[in-house]
Amino acid sequence: MPVTTGMKGGGYYDANSREQRSAADSFLPWLEAAIADLPTPDASQSAWNVLDIGSSEGANAIYTMNRLVAALRQHSDLPVWALFDDLPTNDFNQLFLNLFPDHMPALNAPDVYTAAIGGSAFGRLVPPRSLHLATTFNAIGFFENRPAARLPHFVLAMQPNPAAPRDGVSVTPEELRPFQEQAHHDLCEFYKARAAELVPGGKLLVQVFGRNATQSTGHGICDVLSDALLDFVEADLLPQTFYEDFLFPAYYRCPEELAAPIEQVPELASAFRIDQVADIDAPVPFNTEFERTGDRKAWAESYTGFMRAFTEPVLAAALPADLVEEQIVAKIYQRIEQLLADNPERYEFHFISIAALLTRL
């Protein structure tokens, strides 16, 4: 069973995902340049087939697709199938509205055709050897299924941020191990599915939130989420057992972990060539604005909107129904916003974006 229903819908994710676009933008030029080396579709294929995996409501995915179509058009006038995938529970209504704003196509190059697919990133989505380009941005950071292991003293499968300590918050290396193993298994399944779908010479760009030697994208976000939940526990607004059982189902890889399945699994080593792997500390729009204005309240509001867009569906699904009816979700995010405004230094946020560009052999 998927660990999330997707991002917060109704246009909310689109309005609060500038940071995700910024994190992906640094790596798009890799794929745009690699398009020059794509093999021309054979006689059995009448179009370029391009798939984005984890498209959510579509604003960022459509922006990316327009750039890739423009790059393809520099080399070929063949029609393009632009395919957008996300979980079946995704807000596809908003995706289609974004694809045709004011009844006009958002992908406005000639001979571009669109379709949406409901399915998991970790399984097959299209017929074998049918894709020329595949992209995914941040989607594979989530587990395919909720791990059986528990982390009773933190909300994330990660060592807690040493810059934001709190009594009782801890994760041991032994507790982390099953989550690391599942993240590796999930990534292997993702690569196996794409290996089946890509034509020889096809390109796969994988970008996801992650970590480097000093920072993790989970720092700040999960510190303030953990603090807010513990504050509610201490105020008897949430049971202690909720905190002990709750897990935000994401894993923050380093670049080496992103490449490991291709390097270590013979089936994948023979399927893909690694062209590039890198990590960056991506520009974060709400941090840039905060540096310009010094406005803590505006920073906290934007930060909260950003994290609420992808954490609320998980949190709301985990809460008992009677507490959801009491509007506790909104109260938790109000507490998060207040904590951020009161202590920006404790919840400093870096978007560590990691990526790999692969070629199907």
Residue 2: per-residue pLDDT: 67
> Higher confidence at residue 229 or residue 22?
229
What are the chain's domains?
A: 12-217+247-284+349-360 (3.40.50.150)
Q: What is the DSSP string of 185-221?
A: HHHHHHHHHHHHHEEEEEEEEEEEEBB-SS-BTTTTH
**Closest C-alpha among 301, 350, 19 to residue 161:** 350
Please give the pLDDT value at position 48. 97
Q: Above 70 in pLDDT, residue 311?
A: yes
Q: What angle do CA 60, 221, 173 make, to 5 degrees?
A: 115
- Three-state DSSP state, 352: strand
Q: Is pLDDT at 324 greater than 80 in this prediction?
A: no
Per mean pLDDT, which range of 79-88, 140-149, 269-278 is the poorest? Answer: 140-149
Sign of the Cα torsion 57, 349, 248, 225 reads negative
Cβ 294 vs Cβ 229: under 8 Å: no
**pLDDT above 70 for 155:** yes
Mean pLDDT of 123-129: 98
Model confidence over 180-217: pLDDT tens digits? 999 999 999 999 999 999 999 999 999 999 999 999 99
Query: How large is the average pLDDT for residues 316-337?
Result: 90
237: left (phi over 0), alpha (psi -120 to 50) or beta: alpha
Phi/psi at 322 (nearest 5 deg)? -65, -30
pLDDT tens figures, 66-113: 999 999 999 999 999 999 999 999 999 999 999 999 889 999 999 999
Pairing of strands 351-360, 272-282: antiparallel
Across the range 261-270, mean pLDDT stands at 98
Instruction: Assign 147 a pLDDT band (cuts: 50, 70, 90).
Output: confident
Asked whether the predicted pLDDT for residue 1 surpasses 60, the reply is no
Q: What string of DSSP letters covers 325-342?
A: HTTHHHHHHHHHHHHHHH
End-to-end CA distance of the chain: 32
What CA–CA distance (Å, rounded) separates 9 from 277? 32
- Which one, of 40, 37, 338, 346, lies nearest residue 221 by Cα? 346
pLDDT for 44: 78
pLDDT at res. 5? 63
Which three-class secondary structure state does DSSP give residue 150?
coil
Mean pLDDT, all residues of the chain: 94
pLDDT at 10: 82
pLDDT for residue 3: 60
Q: Say what the pLDDT of residue 12 is.
A: 82
Compute the average pLDDT of residues 351-355.
97
What pLDDT score does 162 carry? 95
Average pLDDT over residues 353-359: 98
Overall average pLDDT of the 137-161 stretch? 94
Answer for the pair 299, 343: CB distance below 8 angstroms, yes or no. Answer: no
Q: What is the pLDDT of residues 13-70, one digit of tens each?
A: 777 778 888 888 999 999 999 999 999 888 778 899 999 999 998 899 999 999 999 9
